[in-house]
Structures are given as structure tokens and as C-alpha cells.
């Protein structure tokens, strides 16, 4: 039997919400969340759904260690409530829908504000509208940021409609970076003024200067960069946040010359 034919006998592939990967801390967290969310309305206990680690591994493909990491990330964000009944050796998992809605809403708002902040540094660009469509019941989150260029506005209109100064959520950027690098690279503890300026400068290099694209860059670097940057060199040197957010590092990375 060919491998492709064998795949047809292995059951259905698991589906998950890819757009949840960034706000929930990674692909593994999104996969586990999606699977547990699927089981929520089928739970027979008010504590949530009962699942063993082996069952979750069979259903998601996540190893016990991967599940442990994903559960910690989801619990830390408050979206997953874990109840362990040690006497009966059972663990229940319950999704906190209210917290999920807040986490996703905050994530969406931060992306919009980040985009506005970067665009405000470019006088030739005007943010006309930013729309966030959230379908919380199905968790089919869609974040739409509409940016239009308007070079015909008169100086009089500019005075009547001054641009607002939006603040970048640097704490969220720290979380995204630390989630992406995990224990592979040194984590960020404090966002200094120099680091903030470096982030703003880096975002200008993106086609779309959004938080999501910045987070994607962190995840891509952690996954695809040469192992040299993770300590596999004669000096044991590892890249850090300051090195990764340099525009020269970013350009070399996307051009494949890093």
C-alpha cells in the first residue's frame, strides 16, 4: 500500500483556527484550543470536557510535552480553565469564552493601533478607517485594517481633523517575541527607549506595518533562521531581541542572506 493510500485510512485531519496562533501563543496552542473548543458543547460536566493526555495526542498529534506547554500558555492567558480531580485521576478542560473574547479583541485593537501609529509617522499616508469584524461565537476571527492614501486633503482640512497619536503596545510585542523564541534565545524583560525606536524603524520596512507582521517575523526567525544564531557556533553566541529587530538583520533574513 502506498503512503498516500495509507493516509486515507488514518481518519480525518484535525482542523484549527490559524488566526488564533499569534494571540494564543503559537500553533500548538491554537491546535489544542481548537480541539478543546470543539468538545465544549459536548461536555457532560460543568467543569468542562474530560480528556487524557493520550486522547489529546491521538486527536491532535501533540506530544505530552507539547500539550504541557500549550496548556500553560492558554492557562496563563486565562482562556483555559484546567481542573484536576486527583482522587479520580481525571483532568477537565473548560474554555472561558468571556476571556477569549477579550483576548482576541485586545489583540485586534493592538494591531489596529500599531498600524495607525506607524502610519502617523508618514505624513503622506492617512488612515481613513480600521474595521475589526469579530465572530466570537464561532471564533472565526477576521481582522481587517483598511488603509487608504489621500494626497488631496487641504491644509484647512488637516487643521479641522488633526491626526491622533496612537500608542504602540510594546508589552504585547514583548509577549509575542518571548512566545516565538521560547527558550531558544534570551527573552526580553524591559522595553527600553532604544528598543522602542528600533521597533518603529523596523516596522517602516514592512509592506504593511502591523503587529501581526512583526509577530510573524519573530516566529519565522525562530523557526527558519540558521542554527548559528541559536548558539551553534564556536563562541556559543546567540542572537537577541536587539539583534533581531535591526533593519539590516530583517532585510538579510527575508533576502536569504543571513
d(CA 120, CA 192): 21
Q: Which three cell numbers stand for residue 137?
A: 461565537
- 5-37 pLDDT, tens digit per residue, is 665 565 566 777 777 888 888 888 989 999 999
Residue count (the chain): 258
Of residues 130 and 102, more confidence is placed in 102
Residue 159: the pLDDT is: 45
d(CA 165, CA 95): 36
Compute how many other C-beta atoms are within 10 angstroms of the C-beta atom of residue 176: 25
Residue 196: the pLDDT is: 94
Q: What angle do CA 86, 88, 93 make, to 5 degrees?
A: 70
Q: Which three cell numbers stand for residue 124?
A: 503622506
- 154-197 pLDDT, tens digit per residue, is 444 444 444 444 467 888 888 888 878 888 899 999 999 999 99
Amino acid at each position: 500500500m502506498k503512503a498516500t493510500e495509507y493516509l486515507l485510512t488514518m481518519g480525518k485531519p484535525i482542523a484549527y483556527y490559524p488566526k488564533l496562533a499569534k494571540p494564543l501563543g503559537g500553533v500548538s496552542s491554537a491546535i489544542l484550543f481548537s480541539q478543546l473548543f470543539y468538545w465544549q458543547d459536548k461536555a457532560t460536566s460543568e467543569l468542562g470536557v474530560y480528556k487524557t493526555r493520550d486522547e489529546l495526542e491521538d486527536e491532535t498529534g501533540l506530544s505530552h510535552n507539547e500539550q504541557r506547554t500549550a496548556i500553560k500558555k492558554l492557562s496563563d492567558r486565562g482562556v483555559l480553565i484546567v481542573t484536576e480531580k486527583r482522587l479520580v485521576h481525571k483532568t477537565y478542560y473548560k474554555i472561558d469564552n468571556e476571556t477569549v473574547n477579550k483576548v482576541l479583541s485586545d489583540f485586534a485593537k493592538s494591531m489596529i493601533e500599531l498600524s495607525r501609529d506607524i502610519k502617523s509617522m508618514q505624513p503622506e499616508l492617512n488612515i481613513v478607517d480600521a474595521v475589526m469584524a469579530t465572530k466570537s461565537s464561532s471564533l472565526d476571527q477576521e481582522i481587517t485594517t483598511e488603509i487608504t492614501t489621500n494626497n488631496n486633503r487641504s491644509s484647512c482640512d488637516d487643521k479641522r481633523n488633526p491626526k491622533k497619536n496612537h500608542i504602540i503596545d510594546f508589552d504585547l510585542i514583548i509577549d509575542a517575541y518571548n512566545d516565538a523564541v521560547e527558550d531558544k534565545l534570551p527573552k526580553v524583560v524591559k522595553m527600553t527607549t532604544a528598543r522602542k525606536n528600533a521597533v518603529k524603524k523596523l516596522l517602516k520596512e514592512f509592506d504593511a506595518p502591523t503587529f501581526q507582521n512583526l509577530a510573524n517575523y519573530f516566529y519565522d526567525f525562530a523557526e527558519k533562521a540558521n542554527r548559528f544564531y541559536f548558539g551553534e557556533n564556536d563562541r556559543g553566541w546567540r542572537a537577541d531581541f536587539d539583534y533581531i529587530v535591526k533593519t539590516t538583520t530583517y532585510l538579510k533574513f527575508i533576502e536569504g542572506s543571513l
